[in-house]
Amino acid sequence: MLIVLLVLLAYGSVDNRWYRVVTVHGNSMSPTLWYGDMIVVTPPAAQVEIGSIVVMRVDGALVTHRLIGYDANNRPVTKGDANEAIDIFANPNLRIIGVHRFRLPGFGYPLLFLSNLIKRI
């Protein structure tokens, strides 16, 4: 069973058409999501439902926040659950790449540990 889980997580860490596995790197979505959680996201529909947790590509980085609406140009307006202000990204071409489906609490800790270890070498 563990091997099946590891294979599914590994497959989700590469681009594919069904789902993606993303590790949460901060606490801006607390208490819903915490640093070290892993989330599974699926590709977005043409119009994502307001209130959904989304993963966006912003200037090459992945950002996981809640969709709170759309602006006059139909661009997504997002905000972290723990943040007071809405997100203001300099790049107007941000793209929603996934919609949160479920959370794997703490599953991302080993990846974060290895990432930090590699940065120190």
DSSP 24: -
The SS3 call for residue 17 is: coil
Is residue 29 within 8 A of residue 82, CB to CB? The reply is yes
Is residue 44 within 8 A of residue 53, CB to CB? The reply is no
**Which tens digit of pLDDT belongs to each residue from 37-70?**
999 999 999 889 999 999 999 888 899 999 999 9
Domain CATH for 103 = 2.10.109.10
Judge if the upstream peptide bond of residue 31 is cis by omega within 30 degrees of 0.
yes
pLDDT of 11 over the 70 cut: no
pLDDT value for 91 = 75
Q: Which residue, among 97, 95, 96, 110, has the nearest Cα to 36 in the 3D structure? A: 110
pLDDT of 74 over the 80 cut: yes
- In one-letter notation, the amino acid at residue 86 is I
Q: Which residue, among 110, 113, 112, 76, has the nearest Cα to 92 in the 3D structure? A: 76
What is the dihedral sign for C-alpha 19, 74, 87, 83?
Answer: negative
Number of domains comprising the chain: 1
- In one-letter notation, the amino acid at residue 67 is L
**Which tens digit of pLDDT belongs to each residue from 101-111?**
999 998 887 87
Residue predicted with more confidence, 6 or 99: 99
Tokens at residue 112, please? 């974060």
Task: Tell me which residue range forms the domain holding 73.
Answer: 2-120
pLDDT grade for 1, boundaries at 50, 70 and 90: confident
pLDDT value for 13 = 73
